[in-house]
C-alpha cells in the first residue's frame, strides 16, 4: 500500500472509531504495516504521533460536546475513553488551556480538525540511496523496550546510559574491566541502532531498541541480546552531518519522498537499522557519516 493511501486510510479509520478503544497498533493493522514503520511514517508525514493525534481529536470533540449540551463532564470523559473524570480534566486542561467547567460556561475551544492528506510534489534533489542485497547477519547489543510515544525522548538517554556504564572505561584506552566491556569492544557495539517491531519480543504496542554491533561470535553476556537479519534487499541511505539533526532530516525525507508512491520497492521485515561511523569523527562534526538501512522488497 502506498504511504499517502495508508495515511489517508488510517485517518479515516481513526475518525470512525474515536469513541472506541483503539491503539496505534489497531490503526497500523488496518493499513497492513508494521507498527514501527507506520508510527514513524505517520509522525514524519503529519507531525503527530498516532496516539497524540487520536487524543487531540477526542479532546476537541469532547469540548464541542461540553459546549453544546447539558451532559455531565463524567459522562463525556467515559465516552472518550478516560477512566476517571480527573484524568480527563487534566488532559483536557493541558490541551485547551482551560478546564471542562470553564468551557461549559463559554470558554474558548482549541480547534483540532481532521487531517487532510494531500499529495505533494517534491523537487529533483535525489537522496543518496543504494539497493543492496546483503547476506544474513547477526547483531549483539544492549536492548531496552520503549513505548512509541516517548521513544524520541528516551532513546538518546539510553545511549547516554550505556556509554557511561560500559564504554567510558574502554574509550579512555583502558583494558575491558568486565564481560560487557569486552563484548562492546569485540563486537564494535555502538555501530548500529536497531529498531525491532516484534510483539513476541517487545509486547503489544511497544518495540525493542538495540544499541548493537555485528556479532563476532563467542559468549553472550547475561542480559545482552542477539538478533538475526535474514539475507535480503536493503535500501541504504547515506547521510553526512551532525546528528541527531542530519539523521532526523534524512528520515523525514525517506518517509515523505522516497517511500510514498515508490513504484518499485516497499518496506519488508520488522526491523530497521541506523548505522554510525565508529572509526572516524565525532557525532557533532558537520561531516560525520551515518546511514539508515531499511529492509525492502520488490513490489
Residues 69 and 135 in one domain: no
Q: How far apart are CA 210 and CA 117, in angstroms?
A: 33
Domain-located, residue 124: no
Domain-located, residue 248: yes
Domain count, the chain: 2
Domain-located, residue 116: no
Tell me the angle at which helices 35-46 and 50-68 cross, rounded to the nearest 10 degrees. 60
Q: Are 156 and 244 in contact (CB under 8 A)?
A: yes
Whole-number pLDDT of residue 125? 45
Which residues are 234's β-sheet partners?
132, 295
Q: What cell numbers appear for 37 in the block?
A: 514503520
Residues 231 and 292 in one domain: yes
Residues 145 and 293 in one domain: yes
Whole-number pLDDT of residue 118? 59
| Last-in-domain residue among 104, 138, 159 | 104
| Last-in-domain residue among 71, 104, 137 | 104
Whole-number pLDDT of residue 262? 75
Query: Tell me, what DSSP letter sits at residue 3?
Result: H
Place of cell 507498527: 35
Domain-located, residue 115: no
In this structure, the number of other CB atoms found within 10 A of the CB of residue 161 comes to 13
Query: Tell me, what DSSP letter sits at residue 230?
Result: P
pTM: 0.70
Residues 185 and 235 in one domain: yes
Domain-located, residue 183: yes
Residues 70 and 167 in one domain: no
Element (H, E) at 201: helix 199-202
- Give the domain CATH number at 43: 1.10.10.60
Residues 160 and 84 in one domain: no
Q: How far apart are CA 204 and CA 202, in angstroms?
A: 7
Residues 135 and 72 in one domain: no
Domain-located, residue 109: no
Domain-located, residue 122: no
Q: Are 299 and 264 in contact (CB under 8 A)?
A: yes
Residues 7 and 88 in one domain: yes
Residues 155 and 260 in one domain: yes
Residues 78 and 219 in one domain: no
Q: How far apart are CA 199 and CA 59, in angstroms?
A: 30
Q: Which residues contact 130 (CB under 8 A, 6 or more apart)?
A: 235, 236, 238
Which residues are 139's β-sheet partners?
214, 227
Question: How do the pLDDT tens digits run along the chain, 299 residues long?
Answer: 577 788 889 999 999 999 999 988 899 889 888 787 888 888 888 888 898 999 999 999 998 888 888 889 999 999 999 989 899 999 999 999 989 988 888 787 888 888 776 555 444 345 678 888 899 999 999 999 998 778 878 888 999 999 999 988 888 888 999 999 999 999 999 999 999 987 777 777 788 999 999 999 988 999 999 999 999 999 999 999 988 888 888 888 888 778 876 767 888 888 889 999 988 888 889 899 999 999 998 87
Q: How far apart are CA 253 and CA 247, in angstroms?
A: 10
Q: How far apart are CA 274 and CA 187, in angstroms?
A: 16
Residues 247 and 285 in one domain: yes
Residue 39 to residues 7, 127, 150: CA-CA distances in angstroms?
Answer: 10, 22, 12
Q: How far apart are CA 255 and CA 247, in angstroms?
A: 13
Range of the domain at 93: 3-104
Element (H, E) at 213: strand 206-214
- Give the domain CATH number at 216: 3.20.80.10
Q: Are 44 and 255 in contact (CB under 8 A)?
A: yes
Amino acid at each position: 500500500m502506498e504511504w499517502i493511501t495508508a495515511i489517508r486510510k488510517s485517518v479515516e479509520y481513526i475518525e470512525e472509531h474515536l469513541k472506541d478503544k483503539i491503539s496505534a497498533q489497531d490503526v497500523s493493522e488496518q493499513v497492513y504495516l508494521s507498527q514501527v514503520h507506520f508510527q514513524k511514517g505517520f509522525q514524519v508525514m503529519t507531525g503527530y504521533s498516532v496516539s497524540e493525534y487520536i487524543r487531540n481529536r477526542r479532546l476537541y470533540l469532547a469540548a464541542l460536546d461540553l459546549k453544546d449540551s447539558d451532559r455531565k463532564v463524567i459522562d463525556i470523559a467515559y465516552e472518550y475513553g478516560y477512566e476517571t473524570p480527573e484524568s480527563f480534566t487534566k488532559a483536557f486542561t493541558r490541551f485547551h488551556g482551560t478546564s471542562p467547567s470553564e468551557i461549559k460556561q463559554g470558554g474558548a475551544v482549541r480547534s483540532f480538525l481532521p487531517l487532510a492528506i494531500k499529495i505533494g510534489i517534491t523537487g529533483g534533489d535525489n537522496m543518496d540511496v543504494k539497493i543492496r542485497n546483503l547476506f544474513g547477519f547477526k547483531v549483539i547489543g544492549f536492548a531496552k523496550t520503549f513505548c512509541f510515544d516517548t521513544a524520541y525522548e528516551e532513546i538518546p538517554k539510553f545511549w547516554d546510559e550505556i556509554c557511561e556504564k560500559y564504554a567510558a572505561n574502554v574509550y579512555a584506552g583502558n583494558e575491558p574491566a568486565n564481560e560487557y566491556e569486552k563484548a562492546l569492544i569485540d563486537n564494535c557495539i555502538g555501530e548500529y541502532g536497531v529498531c525491532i517491531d516484534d510483539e513476541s519480543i517487545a509486547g503489544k504496542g511497544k518495540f525493542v531498541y538495540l544499541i548493537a554491533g555485528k556479532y563476532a561470535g563467542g559468549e553472550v553476556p547475561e542480559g545482552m541480546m542477539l538478533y538475526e537479519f535474514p539475507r535480503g534487499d536493503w535500501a541504504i541511505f547515506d547521510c553526512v552531518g551532525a546528528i541527531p539533526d542530519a539523521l532526523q532530516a534524512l528520515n523525514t525525507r525517506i518517509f515523505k519522498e522516497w517511500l510514498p508512491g515508490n513504484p518499485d520497492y516497499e518496506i519488508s521485515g520488522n526491523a530497521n537499522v541506523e548505522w554510525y561511523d565508529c572509526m572516524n569523527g565525532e557525532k557533532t562534526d558537520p561531516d560525520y557519516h551515518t546511514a539508515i538501512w531499511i529492509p525492502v522488497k520488490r513490489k
